Amino acid sequence: MHAKPMEPAIDRAVGADLRAEPLPPLDRRSFLVSATSAGLFCGVRALAPSPILAQASALGQSQDDDRFAVEARFYKKLANRKIQCQLCPRGCTVGDRERGYCGVRENRSGIYYTLVHSRVCAAHIDPIEKKPLFHYLPGTQAFSIATAGCNVNCKFCQNWEISQSRPEQVPADYAPPQRIADLAAQSRCPTIAYTYSEPVVFSEFLMDVADAAHRQGIRSVVVSNGYMQEDALRQAYGKMDAVKIDLKSFSEAFYRNVVTGELKPVLDTLVTLRKMNKWTEIVYLTIPTLNDGSAELRGLAQWIKGNLGPDVPLHFTQFHPEYLLRNLPITAIPILERAREIALAEGLHYVYIGNVPGHPAENTYCPQCKRAVVERFGMEVRHNYLHRGACPYCKQAIPGVWS
Amino acid sequence: MHAAPTTRRTFLHGIVAAGLASGIPAMKVEADAPARSRVVYGEDPLLRGFDPGGAIDAKRLLSLLDQAMQRLFQASDPVQPWADIVRPGQRVALKVNALGGRGLSTHPALVDAICTRLQSAGIAARQIVVFDRDTQELARAGFHIAESDGIQCYGTDRAGFTEDLYSYGSVGSRLSRILTERCDVLINLPVLKDHDGAGISMALKNMYGVIHNPNKYHPNGCDPYIADLNLLPEIRARLRLHICDALTACYEGGPAFKPEFTWRPNALIVSQDPVALDTVGWQTIEAKRAEKGLKTLEAEARPPRYLTTAADPDHRLGCHDLRHIDVVRITAHH
């Protein structure tokens, strides 16, 4: 699963927001987070099923709940009731009554089904900066949703409780695409974000929600690991208005050993998104000793500049011990600063440091006059000085989706 | 030059040698004969009477189970083997395999026979739970779902998984709460079947049914995942016995039920060594594949490589070398 930036101690649940009801009681995790963070931004998210999406579901949903089973769009049938998935580069060959690596797609008598269509296990209203997307409608809110499942198994996953579970193991609500679009409109969110777990695995749902939302003038963005076959990428993410890709390392060995995936297809995805002219930002979760070597970071920056151009925002974010990778410390800030310096020295224009609230590298600086044009604190935009997408001081155009 | 790693055996030899050198009386060390694993393959050609497609005769099945267990434990009466592995008051969980529906799952009749003997050994009915991952799958396989009195039968979907992760090597998983909270002794009841990924699915692979994320552990023929999973202390400390249901088996197209690839050996394969049991079961499947003119699993690039890993020095889950396995073949007598 992709890593995500840190979230506020108490995330604002959409249901509570819309119905003007009190926030739900704190669970153990939220309580501990609140108790330890004392109002500061902290390193733990507060994911929970939305109280607004129908009735809350109990743990232990039925494995065969047909409301959520929709025939998948990216697979081919093989002999002997087998199928081959064509969604992600794994290309799982799946026998009858079995599931693919993601755990959310099942072969039933030779027909492959997604089991997570309209099966929403997390829904929140987040600042767009939390994705993070810094060059896309700054200061706006995103109606953010997820289903269970992921097509990789990162040892540092921060949302493993949902990403590494099967759909029936996670409380979820039935929320069909039009319902999501309506809720986003009611909450005055200009954007729906597909995030938290791995949207690759709920591509069909994502596509249908994006269509419903676009009909109401609401845009869509996706937060993804980019581990996807090209045809599926073009069809599914072709419906997105912006994309954030978690590039987890610039090393095949890291992808193989820590992510259980491959680097090359992710790089291919980034190039394809560039060809599709999709606004894309990259997050690089910087893990001490594992992917923070200067040579690797330099190679990363050179590759981005050479293949995507210097204007792609690159976010170096702070790692926190989680899931199966608890033996390493939080990334020291000087490591993040060194990474940023390397990327800037290689010619990238927009390099940020994430998960470190108050750090000056949260701001956007004009690459020409070097002055701050968007000032941020954590996920909050303090000042947006941009004028028609350009630096107000030197008129340098700043790339992004600003309106 | 590197010194050879110290094994338990060489360590003991060292102790003995040191004792001799120092004049201290040495303890007796057994000769170097490797420990042998025992697998009993018991069959009853008339288990379904004279009609190969007939219903299973419950009395004959109980008798087959008794004879196989008595040979495995070298016991003179049918209850003694069970008394060797369970104690009154303990909670016993029977992990069945219900993936294949009525056609290719652990037979409820076999579970009934085992429950009969467990109760004879002093285990109260309410202390027995029959489980797999999903309650509906259990029902489809013919099990009577029960959560109140008597023998319990339900899936992990009803009990849930642990909050914590349990991790070893390549595996990090939540475990069924039936295993961790409602079970002192685990008895494994897999089915003899082909598996399109792992090669075969029997004793070791059946433990995929106690974790929340089995889909993550199918790449590379499930190797080393199967071996790593079975090494988790929460599983290994409870697991006492494996009874493989080979009443109906599958030699191709598994693990789902495909009637065209099943046959009825009318057999049980019993062992306390899951690696040895799987090795013997693999040979049984290969023999059937040869009879049907199919390629070997090796030729199909899906031999059960996980068996080698399970037997290696890092895992030591059992023996995969047929030269060191005593395979006892019996035909039930009545």
CATH value at residue B263 = 3.40.50
Q: Is A186 on the interface with B (CB under 8 A)?
A: no
Q: What is the pLDDT of residues A37-90, one digit of tens each?
A: 322 223 223 344 454 444 334 344 666 678 899 999 999 999 989 999 999 999
Strands B185-189 and A364-365: unpaired
Whether pLDDT at B4 is above 90 = no
Predicted confidence band of residue B7 (pLDDT cuts 50, 70, 90): very low
Nearest to A5 by CA among A119, A142, A189, A147: A142
Are A298 and A328 in a shared domain? yes
Name the more confident of B27 and B104: B104
Please give the DSSP secondary-structure letter assigned to residue B295.
P
Average pLDDT score, chain A: 87
Angle between helices A264-275 and A294-307 in degrees, nearest 10: 30
The pLDDT score that the predictor gives to residue A68 is 93
Flag if A169 and B219 touch (Cβ within 8 Å).
Answer: no
Are B126 and B1 in a shared domain? no
Q: How far apart are CA A361 and CA A383, in angstroms?
A: 14
- Residue A365 backbone phi and psi in degrees, to 5: -115, 140
Q: Which of A22-31, A298-307, B231-240 has the lowest mean pLDDT?
A: A22-31
Are A200 and A75 in a shared domain? no
Q: What is the pLDDT of residues A87-135, one digit of tens each?
A: 999 999 999 999 999 999 999 999 999 999 999 999 999 999 999 999 9
Contacts with B299 (C-beta within 8 Å, 6 or more apart), sequence order: none
Name the more confident of A10 and B109: B109
Are B28 and B128 in a shared domain? no
Closest B-chain CA to A60: B157
CA atoms in the 13 A half-sphere facing the CB of B131? 30
Are B75 and B154 in a shared domain? yes
Average pLDDT over residues A268-287: 98
Q: Looking at the DSSP assignment, which residues form a beta bridge with residue A287?
A: none
Are B49 and B18 in a shared domain? no
* Residue whose token pair is 């699915």: B201
The pLDDT score that the predictor gives to residue A43 is 29
Flag if A168 and B157 touch (Cβ within 8 Å).
Answer: yes
Are B26 and B83 in a shared domain? no
The pLDDT score that the predictor gives to residue A21 is 31
The whole model's pTM is what?
Answer: 0.85
**A43, A198 in Cβ contact below 8 A?**
no
Looking at the structure of chain A, the number of domains it has is 2
CATH code, A233:
3.20.20.70
In terms of C-beta distances under 8 Å and separation of at least 24 residues, what long-range contacts does A394-397 make, across chains too?
A: A394/A366, A394/A368, A394/A369, A396/A366, A396/A367, A396/A368, A396/A369
Ranges assigned E (strand) in A208-344: 219-224, 242-246, 279-286, 314-318
**A271, A307 in Cβ contact below 8 A?**
yes
Domain-embedded: residue A342: no
**Cis previous bond, B81, omega within 30:** no
Average pLDDT over residues A391-395: 97
Contacts with B53 (C-beta within 8 Å, 6 or more apart), sequence order: none
Q: How far apart are CA B304 and CA B316, in angstroms?
A: 16
Are B166 and B58 in a shared domain? yes
Structural domain of residue A97, as residue ranges?
66-114
B interface test, pick of A80, A102, A150, A260 with most B CB neighbours within 10 Å: A80
Are A148 and A46 in a shared domain? yes
In order, the DSSP letters of B11-77 are HHHHHHHHHHHHTPPPPP---SPPP-EEEEEEE-TTTTTT-TTS---HHHHHHHHHHHHHHHHT-SS
Looking at the structure of chain B, the number of domains it has is 2
Q: Which of B160, B161, B256 sits opposite A96 (nearest CB)?
A: B256
Nearest to B149 by CA among B128, B179, B134, B119: B128
Return the CA Rg of chain B.
Answer: 21
Are B29 and B54 in a shared domain? no
* Residue whose token pair is 């959310």: A104
Domain-embedded: residue A384: no
Residues B304-315 as b/e (b if ≥16 CB within 10 A, e otherwise) read bbbbbbbbeeeb
Q: How many CB pairs under 8 A join A and B?
A: 65
Q: Is A103 on the interface with B (CB under 8 A)?
A: yes
Structural domain of residue B179, as residue ranges?
37-331
Are B14 and B128 in a shared domain? no
B interface test, pick of A169, A170, A256, A326 with most B CB neighbours within 10 Å: A169
Are B113 and B258 in a shared domain? yes
Q: Is A168 on the interface with B (CB under 8 A)?
A: yes
Flag if A166 and B160 touch (Cβ within 8 Å).
Answer: no
Are B26 and B142 in a shared domain? no
**A118, A205 in Cβ contact below 8 A?**
yes
The pLDDT score that the predictor gives to residue B148 is 83
Sort out which chain B residues have CB atoms less than 8 A from A103's CB and list them: 213, 215-216
Q: Is A29 on the interface with B (CB under 8 A)?
A: no
Nearest to B180 by CA among B208, B152, B159, B153: B159
* Residue whose token pair is 């190969």: B52
Determine the residue type at A116.
V
Are A211 and A326 in a shared domain? yes
Q: How far apart are CA A322 and CA A42, in angstroms?
A: 14
ipTM topping 0.85: no
Q: How far apart are CA A147 and CA A172, in angstroms?
A: 8
Contacts with A201 (C-beta within 8 Å, 6 or more apart), sequence order: A87, A88, A102, A104, A105, A114, A116, A147, A149, A150, A151
Q: Which of A211-225, A227-241, A389-403, B28-42 has the lowest mean pLDDT?
A: B28-42
In order of A21, A66, A79, the CA distances from A108 in angstroms are 42, 12, 14
Q: What is the pLDDT of residues A359-391, one digit of tens each?
A: 999 999 999 999 999 999 999 999 999 999 999
